[in-house]
A and B are shown apart, each in its own frame.
Chain A
């Protein structure tokens, strides 16, 4: 697979016109993280409604097309779902959402940053701690 496939029309579209980009006036969850390797940055805010449902979700950030498109697409998927869904969502779901691009190990982190930020926020809201399975963060 070549980068012509990674950077498909839809990824570029979400990069240049991110959905759910911005800040919420009222929110219950506010979570932010960076990828020290790239300097990619994502912040997510969530308003939780009745039945532990994600009523509103927005993100801000800067970084590569993959990190920003992935975060934006994830907010669309998450909206209206229950917090439990966020706990269950995994990296295969994210790859599928992105069209299963063939990302090298250094770029996988870009794709997964949004999910990590959302999970960290939701776990914190539920009084738990999210342990990122990938602890190989390094190189600042």
Chain B
């Protein structure tokens, strides 16, 4: 197997049991990492270990199992926080990025957004960074406007500056596009938005899993990401915000664990971040996320990023040799995440995905939860190959061969 200089690919691949599986008798070539990533044995073991050795509720049981579960749960908070340069007390566990944006919508938005206010997001967002703001705008009588895009798939900073001159209350932007791969300069965007008086939300679902991220340097009021896209389990994600911001917000869900005292006519709230973690939390998957963070940190996120840039560079060259291949997004691999969205002549992405599946190749096809972006690209759908640490040059070669086979079947 051809290696990139960044990573010992055979050693890494041996850590992922699913990669041994065959699909339609072929080696699994998993290129749907922007949707969800595979899990290393260490993450699977962490889940099994919790359930088989110290399964217990956290924060309230004083017995041994309860103490162990609480320690492991809070250790995951420390690990995840350190991974992105945040204090642990400013990290709230949520189900995923979608729950994080919805938490902000309710707990911050209901209190702070008024009739006539302007909310700003961009045309390249995932639905999870559009729909909550649409709902907020509707419930408050606010307006939602979109930053436009340049032909190369980067944000139109001119249109951003224009919107800032209208003093928006909120600016929500993705760190890295799940379709175009565009990496946005969120540090600069947040700084400008802040001087215009806006609160900022950054969707880190496609950045934290793939590159070094320092949330302090980004400087967003809210930064969110999902565990399952970074080798962790589904159902666990992260929202980061300053302690003061979290303290000033209303709770999201009411119930056990998030309270300090409950009376018949009112309640007082637990300290942050627990104020936002109502009910029995997702203990097992949080511990699994901790194991995923350990795994990635041991490799080093700079290495993960370098590996993906090398793959991306190789893929963009190799695939463009296929006649009819058309790629979307910035051309420079250094300016994009490990995502290649494309179309192949008049082959519809769903037909292509069916053909590739027969070769054991998993790609995503469709609108990628980004319908406004699809309309801007003037396509109904795209195919998308996306990388992670276990992908190799061989995977790209397999994809290229699959595209050639699709050309044959479609008599191109």
Q: Which residues of A contact B (CB under 8 A)?
A: 2-4, 6-7, 9, 12, 16, 37-41, 62-66, 104, 107, 110, 140
Contact = CB atoms under 8 A, between A and B. Distances in A.
A41 B374 CA distance: 14
Interface in B325-350: 346-350
A12 to B, nearest CB: 6
- Among B346, B348, B409, B410, the one with the most A-chain Cβ atoms within 10 Å of its Cβ is B348
Contact of A62 (B127, B367, B371, B380): B380
Nearest to B24: A2
B53 interface: no
A107 B380 contact: no
B410 A12 contact: yes
Contact of B350 (A4, A16, A38, A41): A38
A65 B347 CA distance: 8
B185 interface: no
B349, B354, B410, B411 interface centre (most CB from chain A within 10 Å): B354
B378 to A, nearest CB: 11
A4 B359 CA distance: 12
25 contacts: A2-B358, A3-B351, A3-B355, A3-B409, A4-B409, A6-B354, A7-B351, A7-B410, A12-B411, A37-B366, A38-B381, A39-B367, A39-B380, A62-B380, A63-B350, A63-B380, A64-B348, A64-B351, A65-B348, A65-B351, A66-B350, A66-B351, A104-B354, A107-B354, A110-B350
Nearest to A7: B409
Given A16-B346, A38-B365, A107-B350, 8 more contacts: A4-B409, A6-B354, A38-B381, A39-B380, A63-B350, A63-B380, A65-B348, A66-B351
Given A12-B411, A140-B127, A3 B350 contact: no
Contacts of A40: 350, 380
Contacts, number: 50
**Contact residues of A: prevailing secondary structure:** mixed
4 residue pairs, one from A and one from B, having the closest CB atoms = A64-B348, A64-B350, A3-B355, A64-B351
B43 to A, nearest CB: 25
B366 A39 contact: yes
A9 B349 CA distance: 19
A9 B410 CA distance: 9
B369 interface: yes
Nearest to A13: B411
B338 to A, nearest CB: 23
Contacts of B365: 38
Contact of B374 (A39, A64, A65): A39
Interface string B233-254: 0000000000000000000000
Interface in B72-122: none
**Most central of B350, B365, B366, B409 by chain A CB within 10 Å:** B350
